[in-house]
Chains A and B, each alone.
Chain A
């Protein structure tokens, strides 16, 4: 198990997919339909820039304290799926846009 975790930790940032029911998303929609949910996951260590190193050092020196800063790149979607439609338990259609990732990158 530990080996597996270690391997997962070093997976580079990319698309993963999960088959979930609409209700599981917890958006308030009640529907048994399943959708393919694609999300971004993985490490971004290789994408760090000198900006990140500098910011980290400044934070250590307490020069940057008040605000929330992010001193490492983050694996996020660069593009989203247009639309997903589904029928809910009261026989009404809903269309949600940008629910699922299409392309990932370190930003």
Chain B
């Protein structure tokens, strides 16, 4: 944590350095700005010269700084020999840049942590020639360096001088060139440059919440005899933020209502309250430590089942025609655990939000969540289910779904369905619970029962129960068996998906077929598509991109949705399993855990030692 105090107006200064420049050549000024009035900077150079590749630093024998003015100058000429000595330490890389560190604190710091605001780097581009003659320099070279300018100024701090336009080495060696500088930009800007000293100053302190970036233009005019040259470069100033605004509620909303009914799953977001803060400090790294929220409750139930999640996002607002960044903090009330269905409760939860960086009044806010937890009951709709099943249906044929009231709304409630046969010896059906949609899937479990004359009309009791509360609901379901039985074709595969042609597909049965025969899906034949041709027990459920609870019982039912093994040919895999898209016809061999997707080309000439060239 840096102690506030004086700070540099830039984090990096640069200048060119030629060989054999005379002793006393001024290089540049560094500038420090005040944190409080009356502070006086004392500049201090680091002990070492560094090169860009973190090789061994060299002791600084050439440069000195004026402690009070911040003027960096040569106190010993850098000659060819010295350069060779420095280059030798550069790990074999050519020496292009050396840098020094300038500190603002009088007490010697560890040199390794040179960070803005209390330390700045001075980069010196080493040029392996002597200074060129004044006449050979271009106007641009008298005015600005190639490295761009950019400045950092903290808001709410006393104004001060933060830049010196003059390039000291050039002007020191070519005193006859006359130059003037000017700042262009909007009127009434808080910056001005002094004609005589060529320094840039501030008129008053700045406020980031008003304007965050000043895009100025520095103009330099050079007169060489009668010739006049103008050079312009961008001169951006960034205003640095401090925590000077308290958090507040956008639109004054500090209360949100939350109702917990069917969605009781852990992680459900129940309500969101927003807190606006015009500051962009603390930074995102520090926000969790400095933006603290506390749930004001002693109720163990609330603490166990609810939590508040804080997510800060950067927004921006308009201030006199310029965009200024700000923070919007979202406070979400989230279920910490799945709530039992019997729970019924209502309460107000207060949340205290504290912007600890803010030193004024109003840094603490109160958020209120009015929470109502409603109990939900497990109830079947007031009807008896009736389904019909074809006598030729195969095992795992899906004949219908049962579902408690509002079952589509339920989240985080564990419902299981069970069947009890009310007609003795007719246990033809089974039921499987689909956990994600809390429905029960009725399917044929024993096909031999469908042939029995006493089982033409079956009655079942369907029981839905909540695993957690053991609450139950019951209803009845009648099943009528319809159609005439006709025996199975010879030599048909167990799985519909094995068939590759429409004719084979429609004359065979397979696991999961409702009427005893498989169904053919004709695809669109457009490359690798979701709508591929395939043979399936039931077009309603397979392939639909979802390996449902019944299909996952046995890979033979619908490998198109459930395969995890190899898919050979042009295809796209489903996210978890199955074939999402295929090329041509997709057929599968469940025993081998393999599927094939390829167009069915009957007419492909078979040319395998059979064809002979007929001349």
Any B CB within 8 A of the CB of A30: yes
In this complex, what residue of A is CB-closest to B581?
A28
Q: Which of B527, B569, B598 contacts A30 (CB 8 A)?
A: B527
**B413–chain A nearest beta-carbon distance, Å:** 38
A27, A29, A94: most-surrounded residue (chain B CB, <10 A): A27
CA–CA, A29 and B569, complex, Å: 10
Question: For A28, what are the chain B residues with a Cβ–Cβ distance below 8 Å?
Answer: 527-528, 569-571, 582-584, 597, 599
Between B569, B570, B598, the greatest number of chain A beta carbons within 10 A of the residue's beta carbon is seen for B570
Which 8 A-B residue pairs are closest in the complex by CB-CB distance?
A28-B583, A28-B570, A27-B570, A28-B528, A28-B527, A29-B570, A27-B569, A27-B583
In angstroms, how far is the closest chain B Cβ from the Cβ of A100?
14
Residues in B neighbouring A29, C-beta threshold 8 A:
528, 570
CA distance A39 to B572 in the complex (A): 25
18 A-B contacts (beta carbon < 8 Å): A27-B569, A27-B570, A27-B583, A27-B598, A28-B527, A28-B528, A28-B569, A28-B570, A28-B571, A28-B582, A28-B583, A28-B584, A28-B597, A28-B599, A29-B528, A29-B570, A30-B527, A94-B572
- The number of chain B residues touching the other chain, given as a range, is 10 to 19
| A72 CB to nearest chain B CB (Å) | 9
Question: Cβ of B598: which chain A residues have Cβ within 8 Å of it?
Answer: 27
Whose C-beta in chain B lies nearest to the C-beta of A72?
B609
Q: Mark B579-611, 1 if CB is under 8 A from A, else 0.
A: 000111000000000000111000000000000
**Given A28-B571, A28-B582, 4 more pairs with CB closer than 8 A:** A27-B570, A27-B583, A28-B599, A30-B527
Please, which residues of chain A bring their CB within 8 A of the CB of B597?
28
**How far is it, in angstroms, between the C-alpha of A27 and the C-alpha of B599 when the chains are bound?**
9
Which of chain B's residues 322-338 have a Cβ closer than 8 Å to chain A?
none
Instruction: Show the binding face of A for B, using Cβ within 8 Å.
Output: 27-30, 94
Nearest opposing residue in chain A for B609, CB measure: A72
Could you give, for residues 523-551 of chain B, a 1 whenever the CB lies within 8 Å of some chain A CB and a 0 otherwise?
00001100000000000000000000000
CA distance A31 to B597 in the complex (A): 18
- Which residues of B have CB within 8 Å of A27? 569-570, 583, 598
How far, in angstroms, from A27 to B572 measured CA to CA in the complex? 12
Question: In whole Å, how far is B256's beta carbon from the nearest beta carbon of chain A?
Answer: 42
In the assembly, what is the distance between CA of A94 and CA of B571, in Å?
A: 9
A27–B570 Cα gap in the complex (Å)? 5
Closest Cβ–Cβ distance, residue A95 to chain B (whole Å): 10
B566 (CB) vs chain A CBs: closest residue: A97
Give A13 to B437 CA distance when docked, in angstroms: 57
Please indicate the chain A residues that have their CB under 8 angstroms from the CB of B528 in the complex: 28-29
Q: What 0/1 readout, one digit per residue, does chain B (466-486) give for beta carbons within 8 Å of chain A?
A: 000000000000000000000
User: Closest CB of chain A to B129's CB: distance in Å?
Assistant: 50
Chain B: which residue is nearest A22 at the CB level?
B570
CA distance A30 to B570 in the complex (A): 10
Residue of chain A at shortest CB distance from B570: A28
User: Chain A residues with Cβ under 8 A from B584's Cβ?
Assistant: 28
Q: How far is the CA of A27 from the CA of B582 in the complex (A)?
A: 10
Q: How far is the CA of A28 from the CA of B528 in the complex (A)?
A: 6
Q: How far is the CB of B607 from chain A (nearest CB, A)?
A: 14
How far is A99 from B12 in the complex, measured between Cα atoms in Å? Answer: 56
- How far, in whole Å, are A94 and B527 apart by their CA atoms in the complex? 14
Name which residue of chain A comes closest to B584, CB basis: A28
Q: How far is the CA of A3 from the CA of B38 in the complex (A)?
A: 101
Q: Which residues of A contact B583 (CB under 8 A)?
A: 27-28
State A27–B583 Cα separation when bound (angstroms).
Answer: 7
What separation, in Å, do the CA atoms of A92 and B598 have in the docked complex?
20
Which has the most chain B C-beta neighbours within 10 Å: A28, A29, A30? A28
Q: How far is the CA of A27 from the CA of B597 in the complex (A)?
A: 9
Whole-angstrom distance from the CB of A21 to the nearest CB of chain B? Answer: 14
Residues of B within 8 A of A30 (CB): 527
> Chain A contacts of B582 at CB under 8 A?
28
Q: In the bound complex, what is the Cα–Cα distance between A99 and B598 (angstroms)?
A: 15
Return A8 CB to nearest CB of chain B, in Å.
14
Q: How near does chain B come to A52, taking the closest CB pair, in angstroms?
A: 14
In the bound complex, what is the Cα–Cα distance between A95 and B235 (angstroms)? Answer: 51
CB distance from B211 to the nearest CB of A (A): 42
Q: How close is B128's CB to chain A, nearest CB, in angstroms?
A: 47
Considering the complex, which residues of chain B in the window 193-224 have a beta carbon less than 8 Å from any beta carbon of chain A?
A: none
A residues in contact with B527, CB < 8 Å = 28, 30
Shortest Cβ distance from B532 into A: residue: A28
Q: Give the Cβ gap from B566 to chain A, nearest Cβ, in Å.
A: 8
Closest CB-CB distance, B185 to chain A, in whole Å?
Answer: 44
Cα distance A28–B598 in the bound complex, in angstroms: 8
State how many angstroms separate the Cβ of A55 from the closest Cβ of chain B: 16
CB nearest neighbor in A for B598? A27
A74 to B286, CA, bound (A): 70
**Distance A28 CA – B567 CA, assembled complex (angstroms):** 14
CA distance A30 to B527 in the complex (A): 8
Closest Cβ of chain B: how far from A83's Cβ, in Å? 13
Could you say which residues of chain A place their CB within 8 Å of the CB of B599?
Answer: 28
Residue of A nearest to B568 (CB): A98
How far does the Cβ of B502 sit from chain A's closest Cβ, in whole Å?
20
**Chain A min CB distance to B285 (Å):** 35
Residue of A nearest to B529 (CB): A28
A29 to B598, CA, bound (A): 12
Query: Which B residue sits closest to A92, measured CB to CB?
Result: B572
- A27 to chain B minimum Cβ distance, whole angstroms, is 4
